[in-house]
Structure 1
């Protein structure tokens, strides 16, 4: 009993569990999910490990209760996991799950049983009788306007049960219940004449599991708000150590942060992307381009957006930047369309890999090519032969050079389509059932009467006036045509597609570029505040430091307000929570990091400065044009209020973990370069407390967000947990940071240095969860099949460099104060 109730046993079991989960994700990557389930997740040894963890917790809890411990919140928090595990066992043992495949007009009262590890829709031999009949009246696949992107799946069914008949609509994120069974929209037939519904019967298991989730919520609130919790104790200790932080104490202050400051200054002062200095011979007037940017375009996803947004997006795809030689996206795109002969000699196409010059037979080097340079004197496409060979090669066998070649070919096709007038969907067809908008270069026979004449002539007329205006400088005639097209769009388009308020807000959003400005402001304010703290320690008696300190502590609040306004503006424009893709979630992580620093604004200006710098670095990397800031419609499975809650909570935890990472580095650096003084020990103790508080907040948010995601999964497709790599690594991250918090229970490891080292290296689990799964492992939560952006490689590389430096510092100073 003594061994099973030991904290060493607890940490050992947690570590073994985390390692086993990590191995499972790589097995799944290499051999598939079925193999991973057979070897790990559905293995009796895995169940036994979970049972040992539950027994260990009960033994530890009993031991604490005997000692009359007041850690009620901690006990409630951990007890919730026992209840959740019991609920999972009940679900796995007694629940019934299957699928129903129906064609339109078909009726059934049975379902096919789904075995663990098998996917819905697979051939099964075992059937199960249902206490009701279900008939598929109609299946509808709704799409976003003018595109093939699905917006919703709907199965209109007739259910005949003990209480009579009723019609229901089963759709993604809308569950229908009958006689204790839950029906979920799972899939559909390719011809859109049939549906696949997942059926789940788990009354007992879901009741127990939801009870566990409620207990977990109570435990989290108790841990963070309870007066007797360790978090409250840490807060009291911090308050006693800091007092009124706005008063500058005298004496020898903490002389640290120089190493981190140099690194961040190096990042901030990195040279910007160099661009060609040779401007186009003739360009569109900036004022006119701004007016033309107000025209509306329907993009491939069906979203209606201003020309300003769409043109910038196209330029980013071509050139990987928002501007070209100081020209806006609208100026460049209009130039390509109006003057194709001129622009085909401009190096506006990024090649992505300089080895492609060899394939082109080009002795020059550089990251950019002109459209004309890709064709020989006879007009033959230089990449035709290598591309033909490449398309015959399996995708998995393609090298990085070959993938870059495909991306270059895509950019070439975009440029060519622009020349042909085939990329600008600016002509709405009135009363079109699919709300499709047409380009001037495609077949316009669907238009009739005056609309046909207008649609076929207006764009060529505009191009003529635009070319004339480029030479004469008189844009009035061209502007008249733009106004006519603007009026036509508003009159012909379906009113549900156009929201003038959102369009105007998007134009302001593009013009203000709030996140880029917030990045620079965060870095400047954060570095300035850090310098101020350093100088105030060197010259503590100088009266001006107090005044400067108050000013600079207020500045991060102002920048944070701008950052928040940018998120709110993007939310209003898109009509959805702005953290549904990689770019948006990075923006949100930076916001959470800044918020974490503001929470300690009175207690620790140093933490505020570190958090501010961290937010600036994240925004800086996010805005390197390697992450696509495009606003895209949500796929059906993400159209749920659970998305907003789940992603917001779980992603916010990363900001607090990032602050912990920086505090850990600062603490290690301070221990390595400073002499031991009473004041230094006090400052380090402050950092140690703030570090633990940040990890505690982050772990509570991560835990809550993870299990909110489980509720979302159960409410949307009938399962709490599917051992998807993202889910698994979120659990691993929880375990890793739980280990960091609990390692202090072992006296040998209860040192400031050990805690700081662990807080630095624990961030690797966050990076793996956030980036590794999204871009390097297959899974339902991946952002897509695209390769990781340059920003991701930069962040991971920077992290590895910092951790190597930390390891070197610790090794060279093996006798650091503990």
Structure 2
């Protein structure tokens, strides 16, 4: 079979498999009782990953260099990275909700590369002199893998925000320990406790009184009433915390934890990729850093996720606040990866729109 025909078959097959896989994951989320859907979704992502790997391998064989020289190859390598990170995250979390978030993004990237890019941008061409370097594989592949990991981690954070919409949940400390530093409010909600805030008539200090039915809490001990004093202004106000189901709370904690771990994988890769790019830039252009738009946005991306990890590790943030920061990072990664390239500005440019 001709390599061009094989590549066309593989990219269309990748799109078709990812489209069906997306529907399978969405169907599994809407109808969780249907058997075999989770296994079919995982199998679909694995098949798409292998199809894309074969596509990139065929182009590598045909062109004689690592297939990361144009936008078409870059998009498929990114999709391969997303499907690979997805399989890792899904295996870690044992949750099929990961595919609900990642499958449509992987499918959309594949559709854009296959159906939108013009034929000249899809064909392999000889490398320009600046790209004829071993740094092409060392720098670009690491950057693309970091983008894939950061995107998956950010998508899981977005899924966390969707699942916890309208709920003020704090998971303080669970990403770096066993959860002993979680806020008392989270512990009460997780135990299905109704929290009532009342003002003592003899004092200006309100009381938080937690009442629970007979049962067992997370640590295996009997539920008991808890009394915490908090200094606030004297008011007659009642706050009722809506209990969350154990299944939903377990899912929330899993999404939060896996998002943190995947971003923790992508951030070192991004750091290594930026350093490798600086060394390559000095070799090719005589300067480690020139404030090219791509370099500037790579630095912005690094700072956003550095702030996320700092907030999680040093400040002990968990829950919605770091998830919002990670969701912002999803948009920043796309601007860094694709936005500045398609504008045709700077040294890193695909030059298609302008």
User: CA separation of 1:529/1:763 partners in 2, compared to 1, >3 Å: closer, same or farther?
Assistant: closer
**Aligned residue in 1 for 2:260:** 692
User: C-alpha distance in 2, partners of 1:724/1:751?
Assistant: 34
User: CA separation of 1:515/1:726 partners in 2, compared to 1, >3 Å: closer, same or farther?
Assistant: same
TM normalised by structure 1 equals 0.32
Could you report, residue by residue, the CA deviation over 1:225-264 in whole angstroms, capped at 9, with x for unpaired residues?
xxxxxxxxxxxxxxxxxxxxxxxxxxxxxxxxxxxxxxxx
TM-superposed CA distance for 1:783, in Å, is: 2.0
**Is 2:293 the partner of 1:714?**
no
Is residue 600–residue 608 contact of structure 1 (8 Å, CA) maintained in 2?
A: no
**Aligned residue in 1 for 2:90:** 601
**Aligned residue in 2 for 1:581:** 70
SS in 2 for 1:684: helix
RMSD over aligned Cα atoms: 2.4
Over 4 Å off, 4+ runs: none
Is residue 588–residue 651 contact of structure 1 (8 Å, CA) maintained in 2?
A: yes
Residue in structure 1 matching 2:151, options 649, 658, 667: 658
TM-superposed CA distance for 1:548, in Å, is: 4.3
Q: For structure 1, which runs of at least 5 residues remain unmatched after alignment? A: 1-502, 789-818
**Aligned residue in 2 for 1:622:** 113
Kindly tell me the number of residue pairs found equivalent between the two proteins: 275
SS in 2 for 1:782: coil
Q: For structure 2, which runs of at least 5 residues remain unmatched after alignment? A: 168-242
**Aligned residue in 1 for 2:31:** 535
Residue in structure 2 matching 1:646, options 139, 143, 148: 139
Residue in structure 1 matching 2:51, options 562, 581, 585: 562
**Aligned residue in 2 for 1:742:** 310
What pairs with 1:213-232 in structure 2 (closer than 5 Å)? Answer: none
User: CA separation of 1:561/1:710 partners in 2, compared to 1, >3 Å: closer, same or farther?
Assistant: same
**Is 2:273 the partner of 1:705?**
yes
**Aligned residue in 2 for 1:86:** none
Is residue 724–residue 779 contact of structure 1 (8 Å, CA) maintained in 2?
A: yes
What pairs with 1:183-194 in structure 2 (closer than 5 Å)? Answer: none
Higher strand share: 1
**Aligned residue in 2 for 1:726:** 294
What pairs with 1:166-315 in structure 2 (closer than 5 Å)? Answer: none
User: C-alpha distance in 1, partners of 2:339/2:101?
Assistant: 25
User: CA separation of 1:687/1:574 partners in 2, compared to 1, >3 Å: closer, same or farther?
Assistant: same
What pairs with 1:357-436 in structure 2 (closer than 5 Å)? Answer: none
TM-superposed CA distance for 1:585, in Å, is: 0.9
User: C-alpha distance in 1, partners of 2:106/2:84?
Assistant: 9
Is residue 256–residue 318 contact of structure 2 (8 Å, CA) maintained in 1?
A: no
**Aligned residue in 2 for 1:757:** 324
Q: Which has the higher contact order (CA 8 A, sep 6+)?
A: 2
Is residue 571–residue 578 contact of structure 1 (8 Å, CA) maintained in 2?
A: yes
Is residue 597–residue 610 contact of structure 1 (8 Å, CA) maintained in 2?
A: no
User: C-alpha distance in 2, partners of 1:549/1:729?
Assistant: 37
Is residue 85–residue 148 contact of structure 2 (8 Å, CA) maintained in 1?
A: yes
Is residue 83–residue 106 contact of structure 2 (8 Å, CA) maintained in 1?
A: yes
What pairs with 1:502-541 in structure 2 (closer than 5 Å)? Answer: 504-510=2-8, 512=9, 514-536=10-32, 539=33
**Aligned residue in 2 for 1:787:** 353
Could you report, residue by residue, the CA deviation over 1:722-781 in whole angstroms, capped at 9, with x for unpaired residues?
22222222111111111112123575x824111221111112221221233213363111
SS in 1 for 2:306: helix
**Aligned residue in 2 for 1:668:** 161
Could you report, residue by residue, the CA deviation over 1:132-169 in whole angstroms, capped at 9, with x for unpaired residues?
xxxxxxxxxxxxxxxxxxxxxxxxxxxxxxxxxxxxxx
Could you report, residue by residue, the CA deviation over 1:345-400 in whole angstroms, capped at 9, with x for unpaired residues?
xxxxxxxxxxxxxxxxxxxxxxxxxxxxxxxxxxxxxxxxxxxxxxxxxxxxxxxx
SS in 1 for 2:116: coil
User: CA separation of 1:720/1:533 partners in 2, compared to 1, >3 Å: closer, same or farther?
Assistant: same
Could you report, residue by residue, the CA deviation over 1:541-574 in whole angstroms, capped at 9, with x for unpaired residues?
xxx62x4433442232122111211111122122
User: C-alpha distance in 1, partners of 2:43/2:5?
Assistant: 30
